[in-house]
A and B are shown apart, each in its own frame.
Chain A
Amino acid sequence: MSDHGHHSRQWPLWTSLLVAVLFTLTPAPDWYGTLFPDINLRPIWLLPVCFYWAIALPQRFSVGSAWLFGLLLDVTSGGLLGRHTIGLVISVWIAQRFYLQLRQFPFGQQAIVVGLLAMLQQLLLLWIDGATGVLSKPMHYFTPVITTMMLWPLLFPLLRKLRISLHVR
């Protein structure tokens, strides 16, 4: 156990976060607009992935890294710098405070926690966008929370499998 630092494999962790950013940025295909003309069903990707790594490897992934990835999303999505970072830092903070309990939760309860954190982040976004005058429909901020919660039971086993099979420590 003492020589963990020598061959700790971390790239799957950072790659999964990068993929979450890419999924957020990829434009929706044309058929999405025709199928769901005025409803935003695109899940929030970065927050649940951050949440997972914060409870699985709290010693590797912490608030600082979450802040950096939040900034990455701000830069690439073209919003104000700091738009996503507060919500992510608070989510990872809470996840780290209670990671031992959160690991024991069944999927359903974890999904609820993820949903609450996603809701917090969307509220913050709504508030920031409202204060800076670029507010769109409030509905568009909250429908993704539901899809994010529905995504969790798929995302959690996937990331878990990734972590265990690739020995991410």
Chain B
Amino acid sequence: MATAYSQNDDKPLFPRGLSLNARAILLCLFSVILLGVDQRTDQLQPVRRVLSTATYPIDILAAMPSTVWNWASDGLSSRNELQKENEQIKRQLLLQNARLQRMDALYEENRRLRALLKSSSRLQSDVLVAEIIAVDMDPYRHTITLNKGLAHKIYDGQPLLDAYGVLGQVNTAAAMSSTAVLITDADHAIPVSNNRSGIRTVAYGTGKPDVMLLPHVPNHSDIKQGDLLVTSGLGERFPAGYPVAIVTEVKRDYGQPFATITAKPTAHVTESRHVLLAWHQLIDPAAEAAAEAAAETQTDSAEEAQTETDKPVLGQP
């Protein structure tokens, strides 16, 4: 059997450089350092960005089987099914449009009120549709790869939505792709508030696609089954007011300080093939103050200029 192997075994294995043992030990040590630095700091983020960009073709190749499968199943779905889907989408569009008309009015009103209060508008309506090109193989680690990256102005920490709620956030943006972690990942936490009672807390992922945990809610808090949890906007990562999850169970054990609360994400975590990337840039307080001051002086001069016309300065678009 050994004869089938290559015959140059008699050559010295490592004629140059370090011995096998030394190299193995050095590489292991280097790996440990790498792990430590990557875990404790963000310093390797640029390295990871470059490497992810370089390995983008591998992501595409790895996603090929599911891409082909989706393509084939799309191509084979019957005319009947497509018609049904089309009808449904049309109906949905009608409903959404009706809702949007009301939204427009509300948006304008909100903008005017905000302008009157001189509070900075944090509503950013810019979104981009991205396609999920790969899903992590580990059933407990919920990370996905998207086909949009730095070239599309994606940034680290950018919120990820689908049509039904918050889905996750971008982990690392590479040149043409980015990896994102979902809110159901066992390593993810998102600040939320109860839409009904306003209680703020943090919702943790569990690694299961339909379960989130709220471990820090005191027993006497006003929270019950069916409550909608929305992003609280604290932590300045996610914009406030987007739906996150619906409370599925509240167990109060009065021997314990906190209630056991589980919730189900409103976003369709396992079914989405397309996701929305939202722009919610952090507003630096100092820059904000400066901008406000600038706006104020402008407003003052504008007011002076427009005293005769007696037109409201803020308000109308």
A positions within 8 Å CB-CB of B: 1, 4, 18, 21-22, 24-29, 33, 40, 42, 56-59, 62-64, 67, 70-72, 75-83, 85-86, 89-90, 92-93, 96-97, 100, 103-104, 128, 131-137, 140, 160, 164, 169
Contact = CB atoms under 8 A, between A and B. Distances in A.
Interface of B: 1-2, 4-9, 11, 13-14, 20-21, 23-24, 27-28, 30-35, 38-39, 44, 47-48, 51-52, 55, 58-59, 61-66, 69, 134-141, 143, 145, 171-172, 179, 186-187, 207
B136 A67 contact: no
Contacts of A21: 58
B137 A27 contact: yes
Given A1-B7, A63-B23, A132 B58 contact: no
B69 to A, nearest CB: 7
A140 B139 contact: yes
B39 A42 contact: no
**In this complex, which of B8, B23, B31, B179 has the most chain A Cβ atoms within 10 angstroms of its Cβ?**
B31
Contacts of A59: 6, 8-9, 11, 13
Nearest to A137: B140
Given A80-B35, A132-B39, A136-B186, A96 B55 contact: no
B286 to A, nearest CB: 34
A86 B32 contact: yes
A160 B1 CA distance: 11
A98 to B, nearest CB: 12
B28 A81 contact: no
B142 to A, nearest CB: 10
Given A25-B58, A82-B32, 4 more contacts: A27-B134, A72-B55, A82-B30, A89-B28
